[in-house]
Amino acid sequence: MPIRKNMVTNAAERQKYIQGCIALKAQFTAGITTTSLGIPGPSKPVSSWDRFVAWHSAAMGVAHRGPLFLPWHRMMLRTLEQLLQQVLGDPSFGLPYWDWAADGQLTPAQQLAAPLWSNGNGLGNGTSAPGPFTLAAFPVRLASNSIGQLRQVNRALQRARGVSAATLPTKAMTAAAVAATPYDVAPWNTSSASGFRNRVEGWNPPNQLHNLVHIWTGGDMLPASSPNDPVFFLNHCNVDRIWEKWMQLHTRTYIPTNTTAGAPIGQRLNDPMVSPFGPTVTAAQVLNMTAIYQYDSVNV
Amino acid sequence: MSIESDLASTNPKGAEPVLANVGLEQHLKTAPTLKSMLENDRDHGHGEASVREDEYKGHHIVVKTTYEVTVDGNPFHASLGVSMGGNVQYHGIPNVGFASAIELMRSVIDQFADEFPAVKGKRKKPATPLPDPAPSNMGHDHSGMAAMSMPPAGGPKKNASVPKKKAGARVTKAGK
C-alpha cells in the first residue's frame, strides 16, 4: 500500500516525485489535443500533466468554494498518484505532502530559504533557480487568462514566493481547522460561517490555510491553471492529510447529503464527479481511502 | 434518508474507487463534458449580481451587488462577486478574497500584465477625482498576509502595469 510521506524529510520520495512529474509532462496520448479539449489556437498535443491543468480549470465551479472541495481534490490526487506509479514503474509510490504549517512556524526569511526550495535537490525557487523544472524539462503550455479561459503559452514555470503573503499558515491555524465542526454548513459556499471545509479551504477567515499557500507561492499557483506547478499537488496532499485527521477525530461524515434541503446539486454526497481519466466517482466513495493509501503521520 | 444510511454507500470494503487511464478512449468519453465545463466556467462578465441576505431584529435585509468594471475604458469581461463577509472574489484568481474591487483589479493587472500593456502618454483625468482605495486589510482578517496587490507570475515586469494611482482605471461601480 502506498504511504504518503513528508516531502521535506524524505529525499527519495522527493526525487521520485520530481522524476514522475517530468515524465508525465513528456507523456502524450495520440489524439488528445488542445482542439479536442476546446482550447483556442492551433491544435497541439496535450501531455498527461497538462490534462490535469485543463481538468482543474474546467472544474473550478464545482471543485472549489463548496463542500466538494475536499473529495474532488482527493479524486484528483489519487488519479495523479496512480499515473505516477505507472510512469515510475513503482506501484507502492505514494504522493508526498508538504507540511507547510511546519514551515509557517519559521520566520519569513527562513521559509524562503527552506531546503524544499533548493536548486540542487529541491524544487527550485521558480525564479532565479528553476531547480528541476526548467523550461526544457517542464514547459508551461496551458495557462488561464484574466477571464479564466485557458490559452496556449510556452514559457517556464513561475513562482513569486512570499511576495503577496509574507508567511505560510501556522500550526495554530491547522489546529483551529481540525477542531471545526461540522464538515460544512449552509449556504455551502465561501460565506459559510462555520464548519471544517470553509476553514481549511481558506475562506473563513479569508486568505488562510489552503488559499494562503497558493497566495504565498504566487506565480503560476494563483490562477485557475495552478496545477501547472508541482507544488499544487504537494499543497493539496497536505490538505487531504488534514481532512484525514479531521475524519479520524470526528468520524467520516460528509454533508450535504442528497436529501439535505437546499443543498446545491453537484455538491452532495452521492453526486457524480467527472474525471477525464476514469469513471465518475462520488464523495461517498472517497471518504474512506485507508485501504488504498495512508499517511505516515497525521500530525498536522 | 439519514446521513448514516447515505454513508452506507461509502467504500467499506476498500475497493479502489478511482481508476486512472490516460488512454484516448477514456478521454473521448469525457471530452465533450470537459469542453462544456470549460466553456461554462469561463467568466464572461454578464454582470451577475451577488445577493446577500440577513435577518436583523425582525427585519429581512437583501443586498444585491453588481460590478461594472473598465480598464483604460475597456470593459473587463469577468464577473466579480462579494461574500457575506464583504470580501470580493472572482474566478480568475480563485483563491483570494480581496478587501475591495479596486484591490482585486490591481492584482488582475499585475497577474495578467500581458493583457494590460503599458499606457503611453499622459492619461486624461477622470471628471470626478477617484478616492484612494481603502487599505487592503480594512475590516478584514488578513493575519499573516502582506498587501493583496500581487505581482505578475515570476515578479514585476518593467512598464507592464499602469501606475497605481490616478491610472485611469475608471471604475463606475467599485464599492462592495
The string of pLDDT tens digits covering residues A230-266 is 999 999 999 999 999 999 999 999 999 999 999 999 9
pLDDT for A227 beyond 80? yes
pLDDT digits 0-9 by tens, A78-89: 999 999 999 999
| A35/A54 Cα distance (integer angstroms) | 12
pLDDT for B147 beyond 50? no
Measured in residues, chain B has a length of 176
Q: What angle do helix axes A69-88 and A48-58 make, rounded to 10 degrees?
A: 170
The strand pairing partners of A272, in sequence order, are: A282
pLDDT for B8 beyond 60? no
C-beta atoms of A191 and B97 within 8 A: no
- Cα dihedral B135/B136/B142/B147 (nearest 10): -110
- Local confidence band at A121 (pLDDT 50, 70, 90 cut-offs): confident
Residue B126 in grid coordinates:
477622470
Average pLDDT of the segment spanning A155-174: 96
Residue A2 in grid coordinates:
502506498
- Local confidence band at A185 (pLDDT 50, 70, 90 cut-offs): very high
**Cβ contact A43:A33 at 8 Å:** yes
Average pLDDT of the segment spanning A106-119: 94
Question: Least CB-CB distance to B141: which of A205, A277, A292?
Answer: A205
pLDDT for A217 beyond 90? yes
C-beta atoms of A218 and B153 within 8 A: yes
pLDDT of residue B65: 94
pLDDT of residue A260: 97
Average pLDDT, chain B: 70
C-beta atoms of A277 and B20 within 8 A: yes
**Cβ contact B174:B69 at 8 Å:** yes
Measured in residues, chain A has a length of 300
Sequential DSSP letters for A78-97: HHHHHHHHHHHT-TT----B
pLDDT digits 0-9 by tens, A46-100: 999 999 999 999 999 899 999 999 999 999 999 999 999 999 999 999 999 999 9
Question: Nearest-CA residue of chain B relative to A30?
Answer: B24
Residue A63 in grid coordinates:
471543485
pLDDT of residue A267: 97
CA A41 to chain centre: 27
SS3 content of chain A, % helix, strand, coil (to 5): 40, 10, 50
pLDDT of residue B48: 74
**Cβ contact A156:B153 at 8 Å:** no
| A40/A35 Cα distance (integer angstroms) | 7
pLDDT digits 0-9 by tens, B20-61: 999 999 989 888 888 888 877 654 445 678 899 999 999 999
- Local confidence band at B118 (pLDDT 50, 70, 90 cut-offs): confident
Based on its alpha-carbon atoms, the radius of gyration of chain B, rounded to whole angstroms, reads: 22
Rounded alpha-carbon distances, angstroms, from residue B158 to A217, B110, B117, B152: 21, 11, 11, 11
C-beta atoms of B145 and A164 within 8 A: yes
Chain A residues touching residue B39 (CB < 8 angstroms): 38
Average pLDDT, chain A: 95
Rounded alpha-carbon distances, angstroms, from residue A260 to A180, A184, A281, B2: 20, 12, 20, 9
Number of Cβ atoms within 10 Å of the Cβ of A182: 14
Q: Is B84 on the interface with A (CB under 8 A)?
A: yes
Residue A76 in grid coordinates:
484528483
C-beta atoms of B150 and A190 within 8 A: no
Question: Nearest-CA residue of chain A relative to B4?
Answer: A253
Average pLDDT of the segment spanning B113-130: 71
**Cβ contact A170:B144 at 8 Å:** yes
Which residues lie below 8 Å from residue A242, measured CB to CB, with a gap of 6+?
A: A174, A177, A178, A200, A300
From chain A residues 106-125, the ones with a CB under 8 A of any chain B CB are none
**Cβ contact A220:A226 at 8 Å:** yes
Residue B27 in grid coordinates:
478521454
What end-to-end distance do the CA atoms of chain A give, in Å? 21
For residue A15, the one-letter residue type is Q
Q: Tell me how close the Cα of B136 comes to any Cα of chain A, in angstroms.
A: 12
Q: DSSP assignment, residue A6?
A: B
| B110/B112 Cα distance (integer angstroms) | 6
Q: Is A207 on the interface with B (CB under 8 A)?
A: yes
pLDDT digits 0-9 by tens, B69-107: 999 999 998 989 999 989 999 989 999 999 999 999 999
**Cβ contact A65:A203 at 8 Å:** yes
Residue A89: exposed, middle, or buried by beta-carbon count in 10 A (0-12, 13-18, 19+)? exposed
Question: Least CB-CB distance to B78: which of A65, A146, A275?
Answer: A146
Q: Is B164 on the interface with A (CB under 8 A)?
A: no
Which residues lie below 8 Å from residue A48, measured CB to CB, with a gap of 6+?
A: A24, A25, A27, A28, A29, A83, B22
Number of Cβ atoms within 10 Å of the Cβ of A247: 20
